[in-house]
């Protein structure tokens, strides 16, 4: 009788140990999944940072393009060669849809360095970007000097802006083509 009870106790111990090992395996699996998820999140964030840096470089390249090459001619509603008139410019039939939402980026935008001769961008550790940044330049209407700009007695008034304003819209990629950053800036050529 005593021998039979000892064998039954050993069976229960084995089952308890197996259940504990199963619980530990699930905990380990959960920790591994959490670690993999964090690794993916860090990689995505790094790729987004690379795309943002590429977009900022393209904004500077577009500003250099404006300073060196552009005046007020060559702009069209069809965005030929990345030079666009905003859809709100025509006297009749003005639209409010932003150009960059309807643009064929592959055919109508300028590529980073194409007008300035800047070298191609690469990511960290010389990893190639999915594609070089692209940009469009929109010719905006002349700025209205505003009220008080001609009043010399107004010592607290902000100085009036003069010059030709342009809107630059940039689309840049990270190392993966699924990471896309779009930035816009307004540049005033003095």
| Chain segment 103-116, per-residue pLDDT in tens | 888 888 999 999 99
Bridge partners, 76 (sequence order)? 84
- 183 has a pLDDT exceeding 80: yes
- Give, for 6, the enclosing helix (H) or strand (E): helix 2-69
- 152 has a pLDDT exceeding 60: no
Q: Phi and psi for 166 in degrees, rounded to 5? A: -135, 145
Domain count for the chain, please give it.
1
- Give, for 136, the enclosing helix (H) or strand (E): strand 134-139
The alpha-carbon radius of gyration of the chain (Å, integer) is: 30
Q: Which 3 state secondary structure label does DSSP give 182?
A: strand
Domain carrying residue 103: 2-189
């Amino acid at each position: 009788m005593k021998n039979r009870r000892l064998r039954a106790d050993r069976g229960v111990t084995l089952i308890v140990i197996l259940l504990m090992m199963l619980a530990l395996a699930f905990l380990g699996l959960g920790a591994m999944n959490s670690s993999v998820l964090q690794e993916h999140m860090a990689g995505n964030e790094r790729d987004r940072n690379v795309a943002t840096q590429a977009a900022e470089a393209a904004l500077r390249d577009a500003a250099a393009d404006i300073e060196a090459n552009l005046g007020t001619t060559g702009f069209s509603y069809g965005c030929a060669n990345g030079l666009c008139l905003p859809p709100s410019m025509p006297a009749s039939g003005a639209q409010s849809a932003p150009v960059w939402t309807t643009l064929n980026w592959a055919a109508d935008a300028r590529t980073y360095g194409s007008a300035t001769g800047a070298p191609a961008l690469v990511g960290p550790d010389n990893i190639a970007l999915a594609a070089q940044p692209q940009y469009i330049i929109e010719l905006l209407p002349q700025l209205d000097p505003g009220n008080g700009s001609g009043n010399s007695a107004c010592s607290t008034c902000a100085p009036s802006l003069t010059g030709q304003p342009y809107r630059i819209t940039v689309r840049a990629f990270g190392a993966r083509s699924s990471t896309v950053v779009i930035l816009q800036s307004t540049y005033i050529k003095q």
